[in-house]
Amino acid sequence: MSEAYNQRRGKTASDMPPIETVTINVIVNGKPERLTVEPRMTLLDALREELALTGTKKGCDRGECGACTVHIEGRRVLSCMTLAAMQDKRRVTTIEGLVQDARLHRLQEAFIEHDGFQCGFCTSGQIMSGVALIEEARAGWPSAATEDLRSPFDIGDLSEAEIRERMSGNLCRCACYPNIVDAVAEAAARR
């Protein structure tokens, strides 16, 4: 890469700009963390390499597979397409933060009950995405599978087609999709 960069910019390695760092304060899984990172470090790499939170997985690193899904301020995002340095003062939740009072989140339980994974590599992202999806549906957000956009979405209408559409940003190479859909449906129905 740096060769392409140097060629493009007509520069040699010796006149590359000095590497700067940025210090940020973030709340990760409820815990305040102070991080000093290069601006080019993604949130994904910061979580895994700086905070040793390796539950969040690096799949494609291009925003195509969803394995790196985490929540920022309660919303699902792709941590591979997010710069850590831009998250100052934000609240980040990873798969490690879903456990409350030593109890798994109801969607984690549902994944176990419904056998929603084989190799497990996409599972953290699937679960983080599913947890947020249920909240989005509760907030009345429609999807591309919603028939009528003119009224707020009712979580009671969270059909298989709705779940599949809303989970389409999370790929599973083991193709556990039917069981993942069942797990999300059950967690959505349970309160």
Partner 1 sequence: MHPFALSRADNLGTAIAAHSQDPDLAFIAGGTDLIGLMKDHATFPERLLDINHLPGLARIEARADGGMRIGALARMSDVAADMEVRLRFPVIAESLLFAASGQLRNMASIGGNIMQRTRCAYFRDETDGRCNKRSPGAGCAALHGLNRNHAIFGWSESCVATNPSDLAVALAAMDAIVIVRGQAGERRIWFKDFHRLPGSTPERDNILDRGDLIVAVEVPANTEARASHYLKVRDRASYEFALVSAAAAVATEDRRIRSARLAMGGVAHKPWRLTAAESALRGISLDDIDGLRSAIAVSFLDARPLAHNAFKIELAQRAALRALQTAGARI
Instruction: State the residues that interact with partner 1 by CB under 8 A.
Output: 1-2, 4-5, 8-9, 16-17, 19-20, 22, 38-40, 42, 61-63, 66, 69, 75-78, 81-83, 85-86, 129, 132-133, 136, 139-144, 146, 149-150, 152, 164-166, 168-170
Min. distance of Cβ 101 from partner 1 in angstroms?
28
- Alpha carbon distance 30, 2 (integer Å): 37
Nearer to partner 1, 51 or 133 (CB): 133
CB closer to partner 1 out of 88 and 113: 88
Return phi, psi of residue 26, to 5°: -130, 155
Answer for the pair 40, 82: CB distance below 8 angstroms, yes or no.
no
Residue number with CB closer to partner 1 (108 or 126): 126
C-alpha to C-alpha distance for 43 and 37, rounded to whole angstroms: 10
Q: How far is CA 64 from CA 60, 83, 170, in A?
A: 6, 17, 8
Query: Shortest approach of partner 1 to residue 75 CB, angstroms?
Result: 5
